[in-house]
């Protein structure tokens, strides 16, 4: 429970997740990523058409006596995670059709606020060998704020940049963990049956955390969350009870190297220092009387000493006049207006960025 003690990070706690969570202080965690047992309810072995055995989930940690037991466990760990989250913290939880709907109901009952359900669409899903159902080609992640009014982190521009400057959608096409990334024991068997791809965690952490944030994974497994967190300059706390998984996770994370600080610090346009248009005139980057024009040179406006612009009968800010000349309800004047320099059009936003880049 909360005791005001400092919270250690970049640690893996060995033991039961409920017991370990109970020892974490209130409001100490920035982000939770949870990959809980799916309660797959498997009966018997699964074989391929050639009669080879499918290496699936058969571990005791995924077995519950009934739905009621699974629901009690789910609500307990979700409640503890909400307690340890900071007011602006958020939760990601991943599951399949076996459990995600039960988790979703618990999430809402406990006071979380669902922001998105994100579909992880697998490029290489396991076929349905019995041919009696559709190939199960996706899993679902719920992204939830701690509460409806929470001011959660969302690095929108980073997600847009990651997606070739297109707004990131809620369906993510990512391959299953395979190749060299798939961890295996000396016997060649998978070190963990449900190891998640690092690409999935990269996207989750990049979207909803900041460098230095503490990311908690209460079902740490072989440490994908910790490895990606370390690489991206986030701190982590992992909880895992299986000694074999713990050994693999520690070895894996020890070899991971953090990215340079200048490669992971993201500056949102919303957080950038405000630079009024008039500052460009005060600093001599633009001159009173200079002519602005749009990219196609259909419209023009003249700069005034007070930071307003004038175009025929229109007078006002770069935004207002940009909208008026187009007959549009609104306009971003920074991206609309250009000025000529050495015979070439230069966006006025370029000058703003120069001022923002100056040392504080």
pLDDT in tens, 5-28: 457 789 999 999 999 999 999 999
- Amino acid 311: pLDDT: 94
Residue 234 to residues 140, 214, 253, 261, 272, Cα–Cα distance (Å): 24, 6, 13, 11, 22
- Amino acid 192: pLDDT: 80
Q: What is the mean pLDDT of residues 104-109?
A: 98
Band of the pLDDT at 271, cuts 50, 70, 90? Answer: low
User: pLDDT exceeding 90 applies to what percent of the chain?
Assistant: 71
Contacts 24+ apart (CB under 8 A), 259-266: 259/231, 259/232, 259/233, 261/211, 261/233, 264/211, 264/232, 264/233, 265/211, 266/155, 266/157, 266/158, 266/210
Contact between 60 and 70 (Cβ < 8 Å): no
- Amino acid 1: pLDDT: 46
Q: What is the mean pLDDT of residues 71-84?
A: 97
Neighbour count for residue 327 (Cβ, 10 Å): 6
- Amino acid 343: pLDDT: 93
Report the chain's mean pLDDT, rounded to a whole number: 89
- Amino acid 132: pLDDT: 85
pLDDT in tens, 206-223: 999 999 999 999 999 999
């Amino acid at each position: 429970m909360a005791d005001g003690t400092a919270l250690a990070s970049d640690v893996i706690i060995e033991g039961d997740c409920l017991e370990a969570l109970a020892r974490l202080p209130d409001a100490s965690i920035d982000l939770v990523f949870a990959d809980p047992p799916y309660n797959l309810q498997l009966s018997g072995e699964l074989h391929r058409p050639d009669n080879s055995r499918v290496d699936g989930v058969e571990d005791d940690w995924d077995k519950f006596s009934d739905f009621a037991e699974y629901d009690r466990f789910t609500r307990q760990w979700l409640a503890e995670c909400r307690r340890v989250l900071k007011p602006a913290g958020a939760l990601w939880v991943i599951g399949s059709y076996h459990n995600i709907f039960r988790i979703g109901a618990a999430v809402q009952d406990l006071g979380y606020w669902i922001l998105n359900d994100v579909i992880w669409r697998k490029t290489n899903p396991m076929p349905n060998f019995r041919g009696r159902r559709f190939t199960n080609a996706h899993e679902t992640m719920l992204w939830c704020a701690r509460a409806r009014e929470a001011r959660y982190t969302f690095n929108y521009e980073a997600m847009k940049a990651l997606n070739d400057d297109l707004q990131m959608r809620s369906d993510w096409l990512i391959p299953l963990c395979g190749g060299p990334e798939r961890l295996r024991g000396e016997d060649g068997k998978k070190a963990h049956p449900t190891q998640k791809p690092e690409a999935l965690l990269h996207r989750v952490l990049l979207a909803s955390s900041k460098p230095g944030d503490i990311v908690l994974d209460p079902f740490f497994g072989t440490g994908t969350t910790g490895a990606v967190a370390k690489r991206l300059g986030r701190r982590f706390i992992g909880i895992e009870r299986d000694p074999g998984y713990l050994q693999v996770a520690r070895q894996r994370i020890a070899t991971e190297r953090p990215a340079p600080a200048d490669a992971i610090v993201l500056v949102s346009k919303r957080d950038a220092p405000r630079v009024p248009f008039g500052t460009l005139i005060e600093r001599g980057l633009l001159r009173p009387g200079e002519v602005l024009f749009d990219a196609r040179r259909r419209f023009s406006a003249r700069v005034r000493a007070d930071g307003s612009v004038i175009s025929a009968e229109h007078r006002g800010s770069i935004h207002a006049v940009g909208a008026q000349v187009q007959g549009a309800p609104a306009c971003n004047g920074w991206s609309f207006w250009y000025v000529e320099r050495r015979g070439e059009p230069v966006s006025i936003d370029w000058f703003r960025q120069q001022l923002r880049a100056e040392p504080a």
